[in-house]
Amino acid sequence: MVHWDATEKQTITSFWGKVDLAADGEHSLQRLLYVYPWCRRYFHKFGDLSTISAIRKNSHVRAHGHKVLSALGDCVPHLGDIKGHLAQLSKLHCETLHVDPANFCLLGKNITICMASHFGVTFTPEVQATFEKLVTTVAAALSSEYH
């Protein structure tokens, strides 16, 4: 079980209150799909993702980015048991979506970079450390039901 101290919980809660789920979700997913192009394999049904222009204009990318970041936000009230909270989503990614779990770390990395570029200097080293712990915990939880 992952332990979060009072400072970390406070940091996550106050930081998450300022996240723009639609814009930050979209930007995070855009970055993933552009910088790690093999990830597009999972999103054939989104249509054209062949260039950065196409990715930027793609409404499915915007919608899905929002969905993913909302799911991350849903973990915040469940910090004490992220693994349990994400068990079903983990099974879905393994059994139905067949996503290589290495990609969860890549998305986490791009969410972190998106937050750094959105929040600038308020994305301090302390916020970064706590946020990286959150995305790493979520990536591990999403991998936990893989078999």
Partner 1 sequence: MVLWDAAEKKVIASVWAKVDIEADGFQALLRTLHVYPWTKRYFSHFGAMSTLKDIESNPKVRAHGRKVMAAVGDAISHMDNIKGHLSQLSQLHSDKLHVDPANFELLGNNIVIVLAVKLGNDAFTPEVQATFQKLVAVISSALTREYH
Binding region for partner 1 (CB under 8 A):
27, 30-31, 34-35, 52, 55, 109, 112-114, 116-121, 123, 125-126, 128-129, 132
Please return the burial class of 111, using the count of CB atoms within 10 Å of its CB with bins 0-12, 13-18 and 19+: buried
Nearest approach in angstroms of CB 128 to partner 1 is: 6
Cβ within 8 Å of residue 90, ≥6 positions away: 141, 142, 143, 144, 145, 146
Specify the residue, 6 or 96, whose C-beta has the smaller distance to partner 1: 6
Specify the residue, 81 or 126, whose C-beta has the smaller distance to partner 1: 126
Nearest approach in angstroms of CB 48 to partner 1 is: 16
> How far is it, in rounded angstroms, from Cα 51 to Cα 145?
34
Nearest approach in angstroms of CB 139 to partner 1 is: 15
Specify the residue, 23 or 89, whose C-beta has the smaller distance to partner 1: 23
> How far is it, in rounded angstroms, from Cα 105 to Cα 132?
10
Specify the residue, 48 or 74, whose C-beta has the smaller distance to partner 1: 48
Nearest approach in angstroms of CB 83 to partner 1 is: 22
Neighbour count for residue 118 (Cβ, 10 Å) = 16
> How far is it, in rounded angstroms, from Cα 98 to Cα 55?
22
